[in-house]
Structure 1
Amino acid sequence: MVEFELCAASAGDVETLAGIRAQAMRPDLERLGRYDDRRVRQRLRDAFVPAHTWTVRVSGALLGCVALRPEGDGYWLEHFYLAPELHGRGVGSAVLRGLLARCDAENATVRLNVLVGSPAARLYARHGFTVESSDAVDVFMVRVPSRDAASAGEAVPAVTGPAAR
C-alpha cells in the first residue's frame, strides 16, 4: 500500500480538489451521459467545507480528499475522491477504515451516495454499507455503527484535521 497522510483541508485546496474530483468522476459520469467539466468542478466548490474535510497527501502531494459532514446523530461521508493513480492501491480502504473507526467510537451512523454502477459501491459494501434507496443516478447507502469495534475497544486512528476538532 502507498504511504499517505490525512491532513486538515484549507480553503486554498479547493481548486486542486475540484480537478481531482473531475478526474475521479469522469468515467462514471461519462457512462451516465452526465459529464460536464465545468459543472463537476463547480459542484465541489459550492459544497466544500474545509472544517469537515481532510486531504489525502502522498509525499506531500495533494492527491485526494474526504469529508464527514455532521447530521443528526451521524455523518454524511462526502467528497471522497482520490487521484486515479491511487485507485486500487489500498489508500481508499485505509482512509475509510480510519474514518469508520472514529464513527464507531461515537456510535454514529454514516450515510453516503454513489453514482449508479460506480465501482466505489463495492468498496463501501466491503466496509459494511448497505443500499438504502436509489434513483436513476444515485445509490444511497448507510452503515450503522459496528458494535464489535466499539465493544472491543478498537483504537481510533490518530489523524490531524477535522477528527481532532
Structure 2
Amino acid sequence: MKEFQLMDGKTSDKEWLYNLYQNAMKPCIKATWGWNEEFQSNGFDNNLKPTDWKIIKNGLERIGGFVLKESNDHLWLEMIIIKPEYQQKGVGRRVLTYIQSIAKEKSLPLRLSIIKANLVRPFYLKLGFCQYDEDDSFYKMQWHS
C-alpha cells in the first residue's frame, strides 16, 4: 500500500471502531488494569465518539483510524490504531508523518501517551518523538517540528 485515504468517522462507524479499539487495546489495557467491558464500552462512547475519528482507508477497505485533538498550545493524538494485517507495512509511519505535517503547519507540538504495556514506544522514538514524562501506566511523548 503506497497511499491511504482519510474519511471523517460517522455514527454508523461506531461498531467497527469499537471492534478495532478492542482488538488493538484489550491486551494492553488488560495487562495494566484488567478489562472491564462495561467500563471500556462506556469510556469509548464518551471519549472517542465516531465523529471524532478519521478513518484510514486503503481503497474501499477501512484499515485503521485516529483521533487528533487541538488545544491552544499543542495537538494531542488521542488514539491511532492500524489493523494488525496492515501493521509493519509503513502505514502507521505514513499516517504519523501526515499528522506531524499538520502539527508543523500549525507550529504546534504533537503529544500523545502510550500505555506502558503497549510495545510501540520505539516506533515513536524513531519518528522523532521524545519522552517528556511518565507515570505508573503511561509514557508521555512529544514531537516538535
TM-score range, shorter chain: 0.7 to 0.9
> Any residues of structure 2 matched to 1:74-113 within 5 Å, and which?
74-113=74-113
Q: 1:6 maps to which residue? A: 6
Q: 2:60 maps to which residue? A: 60
Q: 1:60 to 1:38 in 2, by over 3 A?
A: farther
Give the aligned CA root-mean-square deviation in angstroms. 2.0
- Listed as ranges, the gaps of 5+ residues in structure 1 are 147-165
**2:11 touches 2:51 (CA, 8 Å); kept in 1?**
no
**2:32 touches 2:117 (CA, 8 Å); kept in 1?**
no
- Listed as ranges, the gaps of 5+ residues in structure 2 are none
- Matched residues in 1 for 2:57 and 2:38: separation? 25
Amino acid at match of 2:32: L
Q: 1:117 to 1:48 in 2, by over 3 A?
A: closer
Q: CA offset at residue 66 of structure 1?
A: 0.7
**2:14 touches 2:49 (CA, 8 Å); kept in 1?**
no
Higher relative contact order (CA 8 A, sep 6+): 1
Query: SS of the residue aligned with 2:103?
Result: helix
1:20 and 2:20 are equivalent in the alignment? yes
- Matched residues in 2 for 1:36 and 1:63: separation? 26
Q: TM-score, normalised by structure 2?
A: 0.87
1:93-149 residue CA offsets vs partner (Å, 9 max, x unmatched):
0000011012112111111111014222122111111111111211111112x1xxx
1:15-56 residue CA offsets vs partner (Å, 9 max, x unmatched):
211110110112322333523344334322211245543101
**1:22 touches 1:37 (CA, 8 Å); kept in 2?**
no
Q: TM-score, normalised by structure 1?
A: 0.77
